[in-house]
Amino acid sequence: MSFEGKTIAFIGAGVMGSAIIGGLLKKKLVVPEQIIASDPNEQARQAIASQYGIQVTDDNMEAAKQAQIMVLCVKPQFMGKVLPPFYGEVAHLEMVVSIAAGVTLKTIEEGLANMNVVRAMPNTPAQIGEGISVWTCAPEVGEDQRAQAQQILEAMGQAIYVDDEKYLDMATALSGSGPAYLFLFIEAWIDAGVKMGFSRAIAEALVKQTVSGSTAYLNHTGAHPTVLRNQVTSPGGTTAAGLYELERGGLRTAVADAVWAAYKRSQELGEG
Ligand SMILES: NC(=O)C1=CN([C@@H]2O[C@H](COP(=O)(O)OP(=O)(O)OC[C@H]3O[C@@H](n4cnc5c(N)ncnc54)[C@H](OP(=O)(O)O)[C@@H]3O)[C@@H](O)[C@H]2O)C=CC1
Ligand SMILES: O=C(O)[C@@H]1CCC=N1
């Protein structure tokens, strides 16, 4: 299924809107003339227009009217303002994709009076084509549109379809917010190196390559993380001493609690 003859409207051209636009253009799924982005923020409009050569507007309706596909990339808190003007005016749209955390298919379908709705949760590595998205859709969404949704999301990395919307709040907590958990851990780890006496530059180099090398090793071997952790952990050695402190500090329960809190927050955002 190609996007030939289709225009895609982006409502909101911030971090994630521009990641999706960048992915679509990089993969040559569309040319810049097939994209229009609407955003009230002049800086955001200028940035995206000069980076990608796409059309921009500050009028959401103008963007929606000329499109067959619309992607909603505004914060969930803005959805209550964004949807009402579209009500009954966007029946022509063949598909509407929302990436807003928590906002349900039902809210968007009822808000737009259009049932062709896809709900997706990407993450920020999407900006370099290394993201992962989880998505689902209303039963009314046709096969061609489902294929297009998969293509749009794959332009940013991997995309996993789920047949139950309940998984979207879970994915939001796990992979959507996930990069922030990892960045916090990396930050703390670098600071620990600086505390011992490394320069920040060397501490950063050591930690960053340890993260990317370990992840590549994990993916390459396909082994369970526990197996690889045990390889590092010599009896009576340094790693065992460090791991003991992480466990004593409650790392596992802190991670589980963090993901659970994000999950609950995603559900709350969906309640409006
Ligand atoms: N950031 C992330 O890691 C992820 C975010 N998401 C979801 O993606 C969505 C967008 O997030 P993100 O890109 O980070 O947010 P950004 O704030 O970077 O982008 C949102 C853009 O929408 C603009 N905007 C505000 N009101 C309107 C409006 N009425 N009509 C059109 N545009 C409007 C904002 O302008 P202004 O700045 O002036 O408000 C801003 O430029 C959210 O719903 C979020 O839940 C999903 C996965 C990951
Ligand atoms: O923090 C948020 O609400 C968004 C959703 C997933 C990542 N960022």
Report ipTM (2 d.p.). Answer: 0.98
With residues binned 3-state (H G I as helix, E B as strand, rest as coil), the percentages for the chain, rounded to 5, are 60, 15, 30
User: Residues 206, 139: one domain?
Assistant: no
Strand (E) or helix (H) holding 120: strand 117-121
Domain count, the chain: 2
Q: Which atom of ligand 2 is nearest to the CA of 172?
A: 6
Cα torsion angle, 100, 105, 109, 111, sign: negative
From residue 12, alpha-carbon distances to 15, 18, 238 in Å are 9, 9, 49
On whether residue 173 sits in a domain, the answer given is no
Shortest-distance ligand to the CA of residue 72: 1
101 within ligand 2 shell (Cβ under 6 A):
yes
17 within ligand 1 shell (Cβ under 6 A):
yes
Shortest-distance ligand to the CA of residue 79: 1
pLDDT in tens, 171-223: 999 999 999 999 999 999 999 999 999 999 999 999 999 999 999 999 999 99
pLDDT in tens, 44-89: 999 999 999 999 999 999 999 999 999 999 999 999 999 999 999 9
User: Residues 96, 219: one domain?
Assistant: no
On whether residue 216 sits in a domain, the answer given is yes
User: Residues 149, 193: one domain?
Assistant: no
User: Residues 143, 192: one domain?
Assistant: no
Which CATH number goes with the domain that contains 240? 1.10.3730.10
Q: Give the Cα separation of 131 and 147 in Å (integer).
A: 18
172 within ligand 2 shell (Cβ under 6 A):
yes
User: Residues 26, 143: one domain?
Assistant: yes
Place of tokens 């808000």: 111
Q: Which domain holds residue 38?
A: 8-165
Q: Which atom of ligand 1 is nearest to the CA of 82?
A: 29
On whether residue 36 sits in a domain, the answer given is yes
User: Residues 184, 68: one domain?
Assistant: no
User: Residues 159, 208: one domain?
Assistant: no
Number of Cβ within 10 Å of residue 160's Cβ equals 15
